[in-house]
Structure 1
Amino acid sequence: MEITAATLLLLLLGLSCLVVYLRGKGQRKRGCLPPGPRPLPLLGNLLQLDTKDMAKSLLTLSKRYGPVYTLHLGPQRVVVLCGYQAVKEALVDQAEAFSGRGDLPVVLRFTQGNGIALSNGEKWKVLRRFALQTLRNFGMGKRSLEERIQQEAQCLGQELAHTQSAPFDPTFLISRAVANVICSIVFGDRFDYQDGSFLTLVGLINQNFQLLSSPWGQENQDPLSYFHTETLVMTTHNLFFAGTETVSTTLRYGFLLLMKYPEIQAKVHAEIDQVIGRHRSPSVEDRSRMPYIDAVIHEVQRFGDVIPMGLPHAVTRDTHFRGFLLPEGTNVLPLLFSVHNDPAQFKDPATFDPAHFLDPSGGFRKHDAFMAFSAGKRVCLGEGLARMELFLLFTTVLQRFSLTPLVRPEDIDISPLMSGLGNMPRPYEFRAVPR
């Protein structure tokens, strides 16, 4: 009997429906997942999402289904957490249960579960301890590391001066400066900004982040077995990627926002002149005496939201959460975008305003809902390094230059170019005018 294309399509559709039904039935036997939009066979809920702005789509669904709901990304089921309270209850209050790393197919195909970011169980714990100890041995938290960043900040300043106030795109210049900090830690030395191999490395890191920002396309071994070539190479890649692209993208967002709001840039300049002056290099010790700049950097991280969806988590055991039962291995997506835009936590979350991190007297105010480095057991291990880089590079550039846009501030577009796993600012040019 001849089978037509239409018949074959109907057979495949029926089989897909059966698979989805049986998987859902089996899941209900093991647990009780929160409700969510009804999925289509194979596609799941993908047609209900704006792939150009996933974070906002996920937040919009929460208005109908609540702060905890189940979503199907194709055949993959994930529990989405929205708002500060839900994310905090999971990642902080039940930190151990939510400490697993969820599936991220676009990355898993590349990493094969190796490295710190995507590993799980004992393998992750061993690699994390190893990475933290190694970073400490290489200067993390020590004066020597601060001096390396100060040196790189001065090199960045020299490169900006070479532009002679001509318009330029800062993307790769900033990436090179930030990448050199990681190079000095991992390789013990920095690279010249024109070095061919170095430029290739920075370019590949930037392309990786663009890929992740585009539309969604237990182990019982001897701990020593985790230290093989693939795992160590991927761990190094994780350090380069997390330590380069996120920081450089945050700085690019920061410079763009200061040009959008010149009155904020003027206040930054005033605080630098008052506390540091224009001749000595900024130091980490200065941060405690510069609450406005500290607040500006935090607000750039909140508003720019470089990793808006966070990285997916997974529950490490059957977990009771808000009246539901999440079976071991359930993928969980803590929507950090929803935390940073929670109106119960920030007075006007849609507005860029450093006052979100200032108390009434103008002092810096810490905020529990600030989760730019995630929270709980999977908090970014390079947080201390990133905070040091952001402050020293940001302050050094603003100490020496005024950032001048090529268009009127009101015409500057601060919406992201693309928003998937990461937020990418739109390309722009500006003039670095010596002060």
Structure 2
Amino acid sequence: MLGAVGFLAEVFGTALGPSALLLSAVAFLFVADILKRWRPKNYPPGPLRLPFVGNFLHLDFEQWHLSLQRFVKKYGNVLSLDLGAFSSVVITGLPLIKEALVHQDQNFVNRPINLNQVFQKNGLIMSNGQVWKEQRRFALTTLRNFGLGKKSLEERIQEEAQYLIQAIGEENGQPFNPHFKINNAVSNIICSITFGKRFDYQDDQFQELLRLLDEVTCQHTSVQVQLYNMFPRIMKFLPGPHQTLFSNWEKLQIFVACVIENHKRDWNPAEARDFIDAYLQEIEKHKGNATSSFQEENLIFTTLDLFFAGTETTSTTLRWGLLYMALYPEIQEKVQAEIDRVLGQSQQPSTAARESMPYTNAVIHEVQRMGNIIPLNVPREVAVDTTLAGYHLPKGTTVLINLTALHRDPAEWATPDTFNPEHFLENGKFKKREAFLPFSVGKRACLGEQLARTELFVFFTSLLQKFSFRPPDNEKLSLKFRMGLTLSPVTYRICAVPRA
């Protein structure tokens, strides 16, 4: 067969000549690209797509959640964008977001798979179909068994908050970077559930793990990784951040695999100490069932998903929170006045006190709104041919939810571009807002929402109870961000001054 192909190539090469053959090949590729990009009637409008790269050159990947907003203004609340071979649709506005994710949730329930070398359709976040249903159901049940929504887990968060206060107190009010102290504290909560242990803030191996996680988070949205998504067969041979991403991801997998092996050595099938033990029980229960998704590869990916989601999102929000407090000292003083009135200096913050602390609760919600850490939500994929707002969305279309526009919509927020806790207050009481969706909505909403809300309140309130956060002398803090899987503040230093 290969000989025949070679013979035909030689014949055409001789007959047409090298230049004509190259021109024919390019023409063929253009035609194939045009056919691949053919859009059905009533497909959403969007900017002109270039051959092979689509709208890749239209976007600024250092702030692409902002750069696409000009297209929303031009093309409307359902617009199309193509990145290489991937057809995407951006949905803007609360009514359409609810229509897609709540009322037509079955049609938008899937996740797209771009970086196959990383996600491979396993775990919790990027899996689909029966695998996703089994993994999510098991994870929710097991997390509840290990304290999710119970006082025992909240007490663990309170205890970790004291470790964090001690670590920050050791800075003696001098400028420091809070990034990995906060990461360590938040990560210890999910680690205690998944691995059955917490890690000391001076544990070199765990600090390296947190550094790898941070690099992976940042590298995902680099230009080279986006090019890999479009041209994997070419990019896999080229150096760049995408290769570092794959290497770091492999190191994270190896770490989790080693933890699993250690669990196996002293595993007691009759008694689960943590999530990994419970999962090993589930693997044993489904042994011999070829259709079951409970196998060791999925255990590794599910554990990594919990580790990432349970560390990165909450810790990034807390880092934004301390930054906003340092930049808005008058708001920080109001939070501390409420803490002093309700808790004093000795009582530990707990969710039981949250209802009595509407201003603090409003500030945390405003940090989430302005921090906007997942600006386009976690992508979805159209599961079946679907109609939305009169537009035809073919099966397989990637769907991006424009949370950036939602959380800065002037029709929803009085001062959309200003940090203003009054957005979540009415007559002195906390007010829920329907247009506030940091945890998404529908069947694929964040399964750790309850845990994250508890962590945010306990950690944030505990830190402001003990410290006042200020910019270092002669250093200016900014709200510049770093684009990655999450939108995080650029590295900053801050002073944590102990309160008298």
Q: Could you tell me how far 1:109 is from its partner in structure 2?
A: 2.2
1:322 Cα deviation from its structure 2 partner: 0.7
Residue 477 of structure 2 corresponds to residue 412 of structure 1 = yes
Query: 1:44·1:74 contact (CA, 8 Å) conserved in 2?
Result: yes
Q: Does 1:136 align with 2:144?
A: yes
User: Is the Cα contact below 8 Å between 1:309 and 1:422 reproduced in 2?
Assistant: no
Partners of 2:78 and 2:373 in 1: CA distance: 23
Match of 2:300 in 1: 233
Pairwise CA distance, 1:249: 0.7
The equivalent residue for 1:344 is 411
Seen in structure 2, the aligned counterparts of structure 1 residues 260 and 223 have a Cα distance that, compared at 3 Å, is farther
What is the CA–CA distance in structure 2 between the aligned matches of 1:207 and 1:23, rounded to whole Å? Answer: 34
1:288 corresponds, among 350, 355, 378, to: 355
**Using the alignment, how far apart are the partners of 1:23 and 1:32 within structure 2?**
17
What whole-Å deviation, never above 9, does each CA across 1:353-378 have from its counterpart, x for those lacking one?
Answer: 1111111x121110111111111111
Which residue in the other structure is 1:428 paired with?
A: 492
Q: Is the 8 A contact 2:108 2:382 kept in 1?
A: yes
- Structure 1 residue 213, shift from structure 2 partner: 4.6
CA distance in 2, matches of 1:278, 1:3: 81
Aligned residue among 33, 43, 56 for 2:66? 56
Q: Is the 8 A contact 1:317 1:327 kept in 2?
A: yes
What is the match of residue 180 of structure 1?
Answer: 188
| Equivalences for residues 313-328 of structure 1 within 5 A | 313-328=380-395
Q: How does 1:72-83 map to 2 (within 5 A)?
A: 72-83=82-93
Residue 253 (structure 1) aligns with: 320
Residues 187-217 of structure 1 show CA distances to partners (whole Å, capped at 9, x for unaligned) of 2221111112221221121112112354452
Residue type of the partner of 1:370? Answer: F
Amino acid at match of 2:480: S
Equivalent residues in 2 for 1:89-238, closer than 5 Å: 89-103=99-113, 105-106=114-115, 108-215=116-223, 217=226, 225-238=292-305
Contact 1:253–1:304 (Cα < 8 Å) also in 2 = yes
Residue number in structure 2 paired with 1:23? 36
Which stretches in structure 2 are left out of the alignment for 5+ residues? 1-13, 227-287
SS at match of 1:72: strand
Rg bigger for which structure? 2
Q: 1:408 Cα shift?
A: 7.0
Report % sequence identity.
Answer: 48
CA drift at 1:182: 0.8
* Corresponding position: 1:353 with 2:417: no
2: CA distance between counterparts of 1:11 and 1:67? 40
| Cα distance change on mapping 1:294 and 1:13 into 2, 3 Å | farther
Q: Which residue of 1 aligns with 2:460?
A: 394
Distance 1:222 1:80, change over 3 A: farther
- The 5-angstrom pairing of residues 292-303 of structure 1 reads 292-303=359-370
1:43 & 1:386 partners in 2: Cα distance? 38
User: Which residue does the alignment assign to 1:372?
Assistant: 438
| AA aligned opposite 1:189 | K
Aligned residues: 422
- 1:287–1:294: 8 Å Cα contact kept in structure 2? yes
Contact 2:61-2:221 at 8 Å conserved across structures = no
Q: Deviations over 1:378-418 (max 9, x none)?
A: 10000000000010000100000011111579x421121x2
**1:92-127 CA distances to partner (integer Å, 9 max, x unpaired)?**
222222111123x24x32121110100011111111
Q: Distance in 2 between matches of 1:112 and 1:331?
A: 17
| Cα distance between partner residues in 2 of 1:223 and 1:353 | 54
Aligned to 2:311: 244
Q: Is the 8 A contact 1:67 1:83 kept in 2?
A: yes
Root-mean-square deviation over aligned CA pairs: 1.9
CA, structure 1 residues 251+12, in 2 after alignment: closer, same or farther (shift >3 Å)? farther
Match of 1:264 in 2: 331
Partner residue, 1:310: 377
Secondary structure in structure 2 of the residue aligned to 1:376: coil
**Are 1:381 and 2:447 matched, yes or no?**
yes
Structure 1: unaligned runs, 5 residues or longer: none
Q: Which amino acid aligns with 2:18?
A: I
TM-score, with length taken from structure 1 = 0.93
- 3-state SS in 2 of match to 1:325: strand
Deviation for aligned residue 1:86: 2.1
Counterpart contact for 1:166–1:432, Cα < 8 Å: yes
CA shift for structure 1 position 13: 4.2
Residue by residue over 1:149-177, the C-alpha shift from the partner in whole angstroms, topping out at 9 and shown as x without a partner, is 00000000000111111111011110000
